[in-house]
């Protein structure tokens, strides 16, 4: 099985239980809320949500304003869950989605007021190329908003110091997942942890690194905020 296929199955298998596991974790919602709050979204804004998954972030944007959302995700199973919500809440005129890998994503230049991405860009290896592509798709004055784990997993996977650095985060992640999301959430995060350690489809960088990548891609002001009571999760807003 090639890398892409394995990745599709990983998210495909997760889709049915995503909202019942990660979707029950409080700090995940706190990060999504901070993304929406930091976006200054307003009525009629055109938003692109990269790695939209089951639509948790899209629904929060729509609770805040009468905006339009385009979601992109490579997992049909995640999108099926999202579609169920779009139909249930009668949001067909407000949300469209594309089943596509981000590496192949093509939109016209200067189309979006806001481009958001939560817990997805760390799956992309070549971050600079992706951020440059996002920059082009944003209108002048538009914002890129990244919600991610502030974790540097770069380096040699045989380096024990790197392992200890990642374990600092994982020990907290595991215990909170168990406490807030139960055994299923813990089990999912435990499997995920190994992927972080082995850089197996998970390539986290720190927010200092994200900031440098955004500066290199020409973004103007860049602000970074931590999720209240959870410094490992941060939100970056970069203005074009």
Ligand X SMILES: C[S@@+](CC[C@H](N)C(=O)[O-])C[C@H]1O[C@@H](n2cnc3c(N)ncnc32)[C@H](O)[C@@H]1O
**Which residues contact ligand X (rule: CB under 6 A)?**
11, 51-53, 56-57, 73-75, 78, 101-103, 118-120, 123
Minimum CB distance to ligand X smaller for 13 or for 159: 13
Q: Chain-centre distance of CA 89, in angstroms?
A: 23
Minimum CB distance to ligand X smaller for 79 or for 166: 79
Nearest to 176 by CA among 123, 121, 232: 232
Shortest Cβ 109–ligand X spacing (Å): 20
Q: Please answer whether residues 58 and 92 qualify as being in contact, where contact means their C-beta atoms are separated by less than 8 angstroms.
A: no
Minimum CB distance to ligand X smaller for 102 or for 166: 102
Shortest Cβ 123–ligand X spacing (Å): 4
Q: Please answer whether residues 220 and 143 qualify as being in contact, where contact means their C-beta atoms are separated by less than 8 angstroms.
A: no
Q: Which residue has its beta carbon closest to ligand X?
A: 53
Minimum CB distance to ligand X smaller for 29 or for 139: 29
Minimum CB distance to ligand X smaller for 70 or for 75: 75
Shortest Cβ 160–ligand X spacing (Å): 27
Shortest Cβ 46–ligand X spacing (Å): 18
Three-state secondary-structure class, residue 120: coil
Shortest Cβ 140–ligand X spacing (Å): 26
In whole angstroms, what is the distance from residue 233 CA to residue 150 CA?
A: 6
Q: Please answer whether residues 138 and 219 qualify as being in contact, where contact means their C-beta atoms are separated by less than 8 angstroms.
A: no
Query: How big is the CA angle at 142 (ends 81 and 103), to the nearest 5 degrees?
Result: 50
């Amino acid at each position: 099985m090639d890398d892409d296929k394995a990745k599709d199955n990983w998210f495909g298998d997760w889709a049915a239980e995503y909202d019942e596991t990660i979707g029950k974790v409080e700090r995940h919602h706190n990060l999504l809320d901070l993304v929406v709050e930091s976006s200054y979204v307003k009525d009629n804004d055109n938003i692109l949500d990269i790695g939209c998954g089951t639509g948790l972030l899209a629904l929060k944007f729509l609770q805040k304003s009468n905006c339009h959302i385009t979601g992109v995700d490579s997992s049909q199973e995640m999108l099926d869950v999202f579609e169920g919500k779009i139909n249930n809440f009668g949001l067909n005129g407000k949300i469209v989605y594309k089943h596509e890998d981000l590496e192949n994503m093509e939109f016209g230049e200067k189309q979006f007021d806001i481009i958001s991405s939560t817990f997805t860009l760390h799956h992309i290896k070549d971050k600079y190329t992706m951020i440059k592509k996002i920059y082009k798709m944003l209108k002048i004055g538009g914002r890129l908003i990244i919600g991610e784990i502030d974790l540097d997993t770069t380096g040699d996977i045989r380096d024990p110091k790197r392992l200890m650095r990642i374990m600092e985060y994982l020990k907290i992640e595991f215990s909170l997942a168990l406490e807030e999301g139960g055994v299923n959430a813990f089990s999912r995060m435990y499997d995920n942890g190994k992927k972080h350690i082995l850089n197996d489809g998970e390539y986290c960088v720190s927010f200092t690194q994200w900031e440098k990548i955004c500066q290199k891609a020409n973004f103007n002001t860049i602000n970074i905020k931590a999720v209240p009571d959870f410094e490992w999760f941060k939100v970056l807003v970069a203005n074009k």
